[in-house]
Chain A
Amino acid sequence: MTNSSESPHRKVDEKAGTAGLEEARLRQQAIGVKLRHMFDEVVNEPVPDEFLDILKRADNRSGEGGA
């Protein structure tokens, strides 16, 4: 994480820059969490019966077809 070869002065300069980067990273992370949450919310919804009914009908049809 820390680079031991850098001078103390540079460290101070970088600290300011790093704080900004860190802040941006935190914000991106927060957006990422929300994005996944938004997606997972739908994933976790119960699947409407319609889906399974349609698939079942199709499966029965292909069973009768034989080929």
Chain B
Amino acid sequence: MSASRLGAAPKPPSSDDNAFKTQLVALIPHLRAFARTLTGDPTAADDLAQDAMMKAWDARASYQMGTNMKAWTFMILRNQFYSEKRRSWRQSQLDQEAAERTLVAVDDPEAPVALDELRQALKTLPEEQREALILVGAGGFAYEEAAEICGCAVGTVKSRVSRARRALLATLERGGYARDGQAAGDAMRTILGEADRLSGARD
């Protein structure tokens, strides 16, 4: 309605750059977390997060200060992930390395079992459901923001999230993923117990 926002005079580039950089640095932990859920591998995730960070930095002129920078950087990271995936170079090698690292992680007796169950179950979800659930269920984004990040309709995000939730619950209750010696239902029981502990004593 009002045209007053259009009248805002552009600030000198240097002060804008500093403000942008401060915000970008604050978002790095979130970019790393989102990248980790997309790639499932810490090393590949950090590569992706660094690429996204630099893409955002290079594109800072096109970012409108005051708009949702978290959503904007997540969109960049997501696009980066899928375009790299399409190229899929060195993918098989990464998978190999990731598999080895995962084995090491599981060997750690201190590693919380339920997190691993959840990770395994997340992997069984279709990609678009997984990312929608992560954005809304863990990243703290509203459906509208998640829709913007994924470049789809709000209703689509809503249905993806709800399908993801149902599928995840079913998978965890059924124990329907490859895991040796794990009785069906164990995963869900562990998660219920873990969640009680987590919500009781937040660290």
Quick one: given A42-B33, A51-B49, are A30 and B28 in contact (CB under 8 Å)?
no
B139 and A39 within 8 A (CB) = yes
Known: A27-B188, A55-B25. A39 touches B53 (CB 8 A): no
Q: Which residues of B contact A24 (CB under 8 A)?
A: 169
Chain A residues with Cβ below 8 Å from B191 are 27, 30-31, 34
Scan B73-87; emit 1 where CB is below 8 A from any A CB, else 0: 000000000000000
Question: Is B46 an interface residue when CB atoms closer than 8 A count as contact?
Answer: yes
For A39, what are the chain B residues with a Cβ–Cβ distance below 8 Å?
33, 37, 134, 138-139
Expressed in whole angstroms, the Cα–Cα distance for A27 and B24 within the complex equals: 36
Contact with A along B11-39 (1 / 0, CB 8 A): 00010010001001100111011001100
Known contacts A28-B169, A50-B46; is-contact A38 B199 (Cβ 8 Å): no
Residues in B neighbouring A35, C-beta threshold 8 A: 118, 133-134, 137-138
**Chain A at the B interface: SS class:** helix
Q: How far is the CB of B91 from chain A (nearest CB, A)?
A: 22
Interface hub of A26, A28, A42 (most chain B Cβ within 10 A): A42
- Residues of A near any B CB (own CB < 8 A): 24, 26-45, 47-48, 50-52, 54-55, 58-59, 62-63
